[in-house]
Every structure is written in C-alpha cells, then in structure tokens.
Chains A and B, each alone.
Chain A
Amino acid sequence: MGSESLSSVIAEAEEIIDGLNQNLLAMEASDKSNVKPDLLNSVFRAAHTLKGISGMAGLKNVSDLSHRMEELLDGLRMGRLRLTGKLLDTLFESVDTLRRLMEMASSGSGDDMDLAPVLKKIEAAASSSPDKGPSFAPAGVELSQDIYKVLTEYETHRLNENIKSGMGLYEIKARFKFESFDKDLVDLNKKLQEIGEIITTLPSTGMSPESGIEFNLIIGTGKDHLSIQNALDGEPVEISVIGGGKIKAAQAEKDEETPPQSIRGDATESIKSLAKTIRVDIAKLDSLLNMVGELVLTKSVISRISKDLLREGERAIDVSELQKTSQDLDRKVSMLQGELVEARMIPIGQVFERLLRIVRKISKELNKEVTLLISGEETKLDKSMVEEIADPLMHLVRNAIDHGIEGKEERLNGGKPEAGTIKLSAQQKGNSVVVEVEDDGAGVDLSKVYRKALERGLLEESKEYGQKELFSFLFLPGFTTKEEATDVSGRGVGLDVVAKNIGKLGGMVDMDTELGKGTKFTLTLPITMVIIKALIVSVGGETFAIPINSVSESLMIKKSDIRTVEKHGVIQLRDRTLSLLWLREIFALPSKEEGERIYVIVVGLAEKRLGLIVDAIEGQQEVVIKSIGKILKDIPGIAGATELGNRKTILVLDIGALIDEATSVSSRPVK
C-alpha cells in the first residue's frame, strides 16, 4: 500500500471520526429510547467504513477498535441492545481513542497503543444492555418476493420494527426522467422522511434510459393514505398499501386512489454529478500555492519594468502593451490566488464541534452545567489555521468552565440560571476572522490581579494602572489569580500559551471582563497565513515586513515624547504606557542620525502592545512567507523571509518573539 493510499485513508478517517462525534452528540441530544433509525444506521456505517479502510492501511488497532464499535452499533441498530448513557459514554471514549490513534498514524508513528481498557468497556456495554430478543419474521405483509429478496438484514429488521409498532406499510412507485432522477429522488425522500421511514429504495429501468427510471420505495408510516398523498402533492407517484397496523383503514381508501400522475416535465435538468466536493491533499495545494507565489513575484517584476520603461520615455518597445499584459497577468494571478486560497478553506464549525465534546467532558468532571451556544460555524478559514486554533480555543473554553462559570449553588445565589453559558462565535470581517469565546461566569477580579502583580513585583504601588494594563498581566507565563490549581486547567497554563499560539498565526487576542458578569476573549485571525498583507518598513538601510494583522496603528512622534522608565524607552499612548523597541539595536544595524520626528509602529499580541521604532514606512504589500534556512532559524524575532518585486529578499518579523523580548519580566533591558 502506497503512501498516497495511506494519506487518503487518513483524510477519510478524520472525516469519519468527526462525523461520528457529531452523530453521537445528536444521539445524546435525542430521546435515548427513540433515536432515529437513520441516525443509528449512519453511525454504524461510519464505524463499518472505518474498519474496512484502516484494515487495508494496516492500522491494526484502528481496525480492531472500529470493528468492536461496529459490533456494538450493529446491536443498537438491530434492536439487540438498548441505548444507555453509559453505552454512549463508551462510544464517545472509543471515538476519542480512534482520534488519538489516527493522530499517531498520521504523524507516522503507527497506531500502537494499549486498547485493553476501552475494549473492556465496550465488552461491558455489550453485555450489560438487555437483549430485546430476535426480530420476528414479517407476517401478514403483502410484500412481493421481488422486493423481499432484495432487503438487507437491516432493512428486514426495520420492516419488522415498523409492523411491530403498528405502522402502516406502503409501496410508493415513482417514475423520474433519467436526466434528473437523483435530484428528484432526493426531493421525494425528503418529503417521505417527514411522514415516516424509508425502508428500501429499489430502482428499475425500461429498455432505454430515455424511458426514465422507476423507483419502488417501501415506507413505514403512521399516516393514512390521504395524508401521504397530500404530503407527496405534485410528485409523479403511485401509492399502494401493502400491510401493517393501519391496514384496514388504508385499504378502504385504496379504492379512491387517484390515477398516477404523468411524468414531471422539469426544466431544471442536469447531468451533473451529485458530488460537489473534492478532497485534495494539502501537500498538493501547498505546492500549487507556492507556484502562485512565484507568479506573484513575476508579476511584480513585470510591473516594475513597465513602470521603469514608462518613466524612461519612448523606446522601441510598445510600453502600453507591456503594461496591459502586466495588468492582465495581475488580474489572472489574483483570480488564481483567490481560488486557491478558497480551496483550502474549511468551515470553522469543524473545530467548534470538537469543542462540544470538550465542554461535555469537562463540565461533567467539574459537576457544572454548561450550555455551549455556537454561531457563525459556517465561517471559513484556511485549513491549517483551523487546525492551529483548535488548541488555543480549547484552552479558552476549559478556562471558561473551570475559572469562569461558577458552581451551581453560587450561580443560583447570584441570581443567575443554574446552567452557565459559553458563547462561541465566528464572523468574517474583511481579511480577518473574529472568533469570540464569551462566558456568563464570575469574570476576572481586577483587584486580585493587581494584588498578584504587586506580589510578583510587576508594578509600582504608587502608580495608577488602567484596566488594559492589568489584563496584560494575565497573559504572562505562570500568572494566575486562582489560589488552588485544578486538574482541568492546571496552574498558570493557558493564556500566555494561547496568546503565543495565536500570535504565531499572525493574529491577536483581546479580552474584556466584568466582575460577576463574565469574560469575553476576542481572537482576530487572518483568513490565510500563506499569503499575507504586510507593512514594509526600513531600518538602518534594511527592509523588513511586519504582518499587517499584528499592527494596530502607526504613529509619528516627537523625539521629546520619549521618556525613560527603568532604562526602557516608553511613550504615553492614550491611557497606557507603551514600551518602545529600536529594531536597529535588536538587529545590530548601522545607526542613523535620528531626526526630531520618529516613526512608531504599534504592534500587538493579546493585551501586550509594543512600539517598534523604524526609519521609514515604505507601504503595504501582499507577501508570500517562506521559511528560512537552518542558519537563521534560531534568530529570535524573525518569522520567515519573503521576496519583494525587485527580487530583493527581506525578513518578516515575528511580532510575538519581539514582544517577549521586550516585555518578559526577566529579560535584559533594551539598550
């Protein structure tokens, strides 16, 4: 089995696991004694498919575990087992284990793990839930042998269950045009699912495709003939009763049956495939995007040459032609770039769904009741970005449940509903996506933050501090206001890591809190990291790029505005003190006589803000970030390199690292 097959197995397994998780949550949310058969069957099918493909890929543990899950789920869908909370917990745990196994497999370390504990639980679940006894064979049903012999074991079981519960069985004959049958059948299925359960769909066709295609559907429903007819109004169908509980009433109506309607003449014919999505290996997209990056460079070169030529006046070449070509290239490349960036986008909802699982787990552990409200899950972000923000979001949600949401009693005493609420939302704003995590918990006590910061010698007692400045302490490593660490978020792990990780993605974290009301974290992320907008600045004869997402503003100040506090240069920016960093000193660049006016680029990461002193601002440009070689890898403050249109290579600043350098408590003062 080739590596290509393995990567396609990994991609599909990931999709299946996400789907399993989502469906288990749906099962948990529904009445456990009455889970929709379709839902149970699709969960079964997911485990079934996973077993098959992982077996092919030689992932023995994944295949074993999914096999055992499949058996358990088969018991559920065939009515041999009853769904209980405990069984559901076991299924959730199995899916978590599958996810871990797949993570191991995708990092190339196989799928070796001790499965005994989870397999034991599955075994216990399989034996503890009662056996409802075998289904009985269909009796008193006028089902033609042609149909009966095509029913799978599961379909036969569903047929029996429908009879057992007194549902009427109907045969629906539908004839569709060959060109549009898939869409027509899906439409019909939707209507049928609203009134009952589709047990089987048997297709047949005449001598030629032109004669259309006929489907024989068997449905079980509590509705009578007339209601079915009304529900299928306008569909080209014949309805006949074939048995079940309502057989008498239904048969009485049979005589009044309306003649079958003619085949629908549909103007929206299409021979397009139903499948509208493709799965693309990220590596292939990366290489395509890389190509576009090169094209962007070529484009810049052409546009510079054409500008140069224009400036130098008449030449033998048709300059306007060159410029037209350049504009054309520009337009095409932008389109290609847009399409490709779009192709890498996936809805952020994929991460939100995983968080549902975390909320479920942690609120159980801490005995708190928490409702997670999700909005904007359709907002799209670059695939790699969605993956990277998963952990920071998990930290924030954990924190919200552990530190934010109060215990049940405390909430009731405070006049709040017993269940806490965490709102998770995403929204696109221009080139950024804004993700908010908001809880209605206790909020952060700023006086505690002040005391802790004082204890750690981070502030002067004599001075006044603004709210934002106090918030910024919460993002320092090891800083916590909680006296006791809990298992859930641990001591001091969290916000600094969150801020750093979001910073690495070129994003920002902001927070807002009100004592007794709750806390809100706002993450502002670029939609994609591969091609970013950057502010181009020059310092000491060198040019640097600063990701525009990290820039909050740029200022021109007077040299005399700069004060010195503990050997640090600072300026007053509205209600807060802003530390300054001279890039020239950080990168040991030749000094230049500073004029009276100085440029300050205010960059931010979480609540931390820093002013970078530069010689000049050259403008904004889209750049393609490339990683730099090993030699430069360890230099702090550099995130990568990029090329400008004039084939000049410049460095892209790592704002997170620079802020660490300037603000970390133990760091040496800036010269």
Chain B
Amino acid sequence: MEKRVLIVEDSTAMRSMIASTVEEMKGYVTVEAANGFEALRIIPKERFDLIITDINMPHINGLEIISFVKNHPSFNTIPIIIVTTEQSEEDRKKGISLGASEYIIKPFNPDHLKKVVKKVLGG
C-alpha cells in the first residue's frame, strides 16, 4: 500500500518543494496543509503514515500540532519529521521531546530528506 504523507507548512513554495521531493520516491503520496487549521481538520479524517511539519506558523504552530497528534490514542503512532532552520534549536529540541522522530534543516538537500523519510518509515 502506498505511504501517505501529510505536509504542514505555511510557505507555498517550501510546501511544494517538500511535496515534490517526497513524491519523487516510489510509493509515496502527499497531502498538503497550508496552516495548522488545515492540519487539524485533515489529521482525524484521513489515514497518514507520516507527518512532516514546519514549526513557525501563525495561529497553530508546529509544536502544537505535534502535541495534538502525540496526545491522541488514535494517531499518536504517526511518526513526525520537523522541518526547521539552523537557528531554531530550542524549538526543535522541544519538538523531539514532544515525540517527533527526526528533524530536517531548511534549506534541505532533497536526497537527505528522502533518506530521513525512509529511515523514519523503516523502509
């Protein structure tokens, strides 16, 4: 069965670059959420194998999304990859302590992103 990946990122350009990198891999399908609201709406309604999320977003940020996912018995098993920048070390650490599996630093190398995605999904 193909792997379904949710990408939560408020920058359109960044979101589509992440999505196209993930879709370059065989057997992956991406769903995009442009903000925290969209993510909260989609997560309980669809099946996801992986969530890739930005941290710094307006209204509902990435840490809040991670907490939402990891505190719910129905989807707390979905692994999460944080996409962040070099400078946001504190927030990144918090994300990991909240239950995110890995992080990627922006700007990212597409091959590195693919590697991390595969590692997290154990494939």
Select which of B13, B58, B61, B64 is within 8 A of A42 by beta carbon: B58
- Which residues does chain A contribute within 8 Å of B94, judged by CB atoms? 149-152
**Total interface residues on B, using CB and 8 Å?**
43
* Distance of A207 Cα from B38 Cα, bound (Å): 19
Judge whether B108 is part of the interface by a CB distance below 8 angstroms.
yes
**Is A189 touching B108 in the complex (CB atoms < 8 A)?**
no
* Distance of A182 Cα from B78 Cα, bound (Å): 23
CB-CB nearest in chain A for B109? A56
Q: Mark B43-85, 1 if CB is under 8 A from A, else 0.
A: 0110000000001101111011101100111100000000001
- Which residues does chain B contribute within 8 Å of A71, judged by CB atoms? 87
**Is A200 touching B91 in the complex (CB atoms < 8 A)?**
no
**Is B12 touching A8 in the complex (CB atoms < 8 A)?**
yes
**Is B16 touching A150 in the complex (CB atoms < 8 A)?**
no
* Distance of A150 Cα from B98 Cα, bound (Å): 8
Number of A-B contacts (CB under 8 A): 115
CB-CB nearest in chain A for B20? A5
- Which residues does chain A contribute within 8 Å of B37, judged by CB atoms? 181-182, 185, 274
* Distance of A274 Cα from B67 Cα, bound (Å): 22
- Which residues does chain A contribute within 8 Å of B64, judged by CB atoms? 150, 200-203
Smallest beta-carbon distance A14→chain B, Å: 11
CB-CB nearest in chain B for A179? B41
In A23-79, which residues have CB < 8 Å from any B CB?
42, 45, 48-49, 51-53, 55-57, 63, 70-71, 74
Judge whether B107 is part of the interface by a CB distance below 8 angstroms.
yes
- Which residues does chain A contribute within 8 Å of B61, judged by CB atoms? 152
* Distance of A61 Cα from B19 Cα, bound (Å): 25
- Which residues does chain A contribute within 8 Å of B20, judged by CB atoms? 5
Contact status of A8 and B58, CB under 8 A, knowing A52-B106, A200-B64, A203-B68:
no
- Which residues does chain B contribute within 8 Å of A146, judged by CB atoms? 67
**Is B17 touching A153 in the complex (CB atoms < 8 A)?**
no
Smallest beta-carbon distance A483→chain B, Å: 51
- Which residues does chain A contribute within 8 Å of B56, judged by CB atoms? 45, 48-49, 152
- Which residues does chain B contribute within 8 Å of A205, judged by CB atoms? 40, 44, 68, 72
Q: Mark A608-621, 1 if CB is under 8 A from B, else 0.
A: 00000000000000
- Which residues does chain A contribute within 8 Å of B68, judged by CB atoms? 202-205
- Which residues does chain A contribute within 8 Å of B72, judged by CB atoms? 204-205
**Is A56 touching B58 in the complex (CB atoms < 8 A)?**
no
- Which residues does chain A contribute within 8 Å of B90, judged by CB atoms? 152-153
**Is A201 touching B17 in the complex (CB atoms < 8 A)?**
no
Select which of B13, B14, B40 is within 8 A of A181 by beta carbon: B40
- Which residues does chain B contribute within 8 Å of A161, judged by CB atoms? none
| Residue of A52, A63, A208, A271 most packed against chain B (CB within 10 A) | A52
**Is B38 touching A49 in the complex (CB atoms < 8 A)?**
no
Judge whether A178 is part of the interface by a CB distance below 8 angstroms.
yes
* Distance of A57 Cα from B11 Cα, bound (Å): 13
Judge whether B30 is part of the interface by a CB distance below 8 angstroms.
no
- Which residues does chain B contribute within 8 Å of A204, judged by CB atoms? 67-68, 71-72
CB-CB nearest in chain B for A200? B64
* Distance of A55 Cα from B108 Cα, bound (Å): 9
Smallest beta-carbon distance A671→chain B, Å: 58
Select which of A48, A55, A150 is within 8 A of B63 by beta carbon: A150
CB-CB nearest in chain A for B73? A207
Judge whether A279 is part of the interface by a CB distance below 8 angstroms.
yes
Select which of A8, A48, A189 is within 8 A of B13 by beta carbon: A8
* Distance of A12 Cα from B13 Cα, bound (Å): 7
**Total interface residues on A, using CB and 8 Å?**
47
**Is B40 touching A203 in the complex (CB atoms < 8 A)?**
yes
Select which of B13, B41, B98 is within 8 A of A5 by beta carbon: B13
**Is B91 touching A56 in the complex (CB atoms < 8 A)?**
no
| Residue of A53, A71, A152 most packed against chain B (CB within 10 A) | A152
**Is A275 touching B60 in the complex (CB atoms < 8 A)?**
no
CB-CB nearest in chain B for A41? B58
In A90-105, which residues have CB < 8 Å from any B CB?
none
CB-CB nearest in chain A for B43? A205
Judge whether A590 is part of the interface by a CB distance below 8 angstroms.
no
Q: Mark B1-41, 1 if CB is under 8 A from A, else 0.
A: 00000000011111011001000000000000011111011
**Is B34 touching A52 in the complex (CB atoms < 8 A)?**
no
Judge whether A1 is part of the interface by a CB distance below 8 angstroms.
yes
Select which of B10, B12, B60 is within 8 A of A201 by beta carbon: B60
Select which of A49, A51, A203, A213 is within 8 A of B10 by beta carbon: A49
Q: Mark A145-175, 1 if CB is under 8 A from B, else 0.
A: 0100111110000000000000000000000
- Which residues does chain B contribute within 8 Å of A1, judged by CB atoms? 17
Smallest beta-carbon distance A597→chain B, Å: 61
CB-CB nearest in chain A for B34? A275
- Which residues does chain A contribute within 8 Å of B13, judged by CB atoms? 5, 8-9, 11-13, 53, 56-57
CB-CB nearest in chain B for A208? B44
Smallest beta-carbon distance A279→chain B, Å: 6
**Is A52 touching B85 in the complex (CB atoms < 8 A)?**
yes
- Which residues does chain B contribute within 8 Å of A74, judged by CB atoms? 87
| Residue of B36, B72, B90, B107 most packed against chain A (CB within 10 A) | B107
| Residue of B16, B38, B44, B74 most packed against chain A (CB within 10 A) | B44
* Distance of A431 Cα from B51 Cα, bound (Å): 49
**Is B40 touching A273 in the complex (CB atoms < 8 A)?**
no
Judge whether A209 is part of the interface by a CB distance below 8 angstroms.
yes
* Distance of A178 Cα from B98 Cα, bound (Å): 24
CB-CB nearest in chain A for B37? A182
**Is A209 touching B85 in the complex (CB atoms < 8 A)?**
no
- Which residues does chain A contribute within 8 Å of B44, judged by CB atoms? 178, 205, 208-209
Contact status of A274 and B35, CB under 8 A, knowing A5-B13, A70-B87:
yes
Smallest beta-carbon distance A198→chain B, Å: 9
* Distance of A13 Cα from B12 Cα, bound (Å): 10
Contact status of A150 and B45, CB under 8 A, knowing A53-B13, A70-B87:
no
- Which residues does chain A contribute within 8 Å of B17, judged by CB atoms? 1, 5, 53, 56
Could you tell me which B residues sit within 8 Å of A by CB distance? 10-14, 16-17, 20, 34-38, 40-41, 44-45, 55-56, 58-61, 63-65, 67-68, 71-74, 85, 87-88, 90-91, 94, 97-98, 106-108
Besides the contacts A153-B88, A273-B38, A279-B12, what 14 more A-B pairs have beta carbons closer than 8 Å? A5-B13, A5-B16, A5-B20, A52-B85, A71-B87, A74-B87, A150-B94, A152-B61, A182-B40, A201-B59, A204-B68, A205-B44, A205-B68, A213-B40
* Ranked 9 nearest A-B pairs via Cβ: A55-B107, A182-B37, A52-B106, A153-B90, A209-B44, A53-B13, A56-B107, A12-B13, A9-B13
Q: What would be 22 A-B contacts, judged by CB atoms less than 8 Å apart?
A: A12-B11, A12-B13, A45-B58, A48-B85, A52-B14, A53-B17, A55-B106, A56-B13, A56-B108, A63-B107, A70-B87, A149-B97, A150-B64, A152-B56, A152-B63, A152-B94, A178-B41, A202-B64, A204-B68, A205-B68, A274-B38, A279-B12
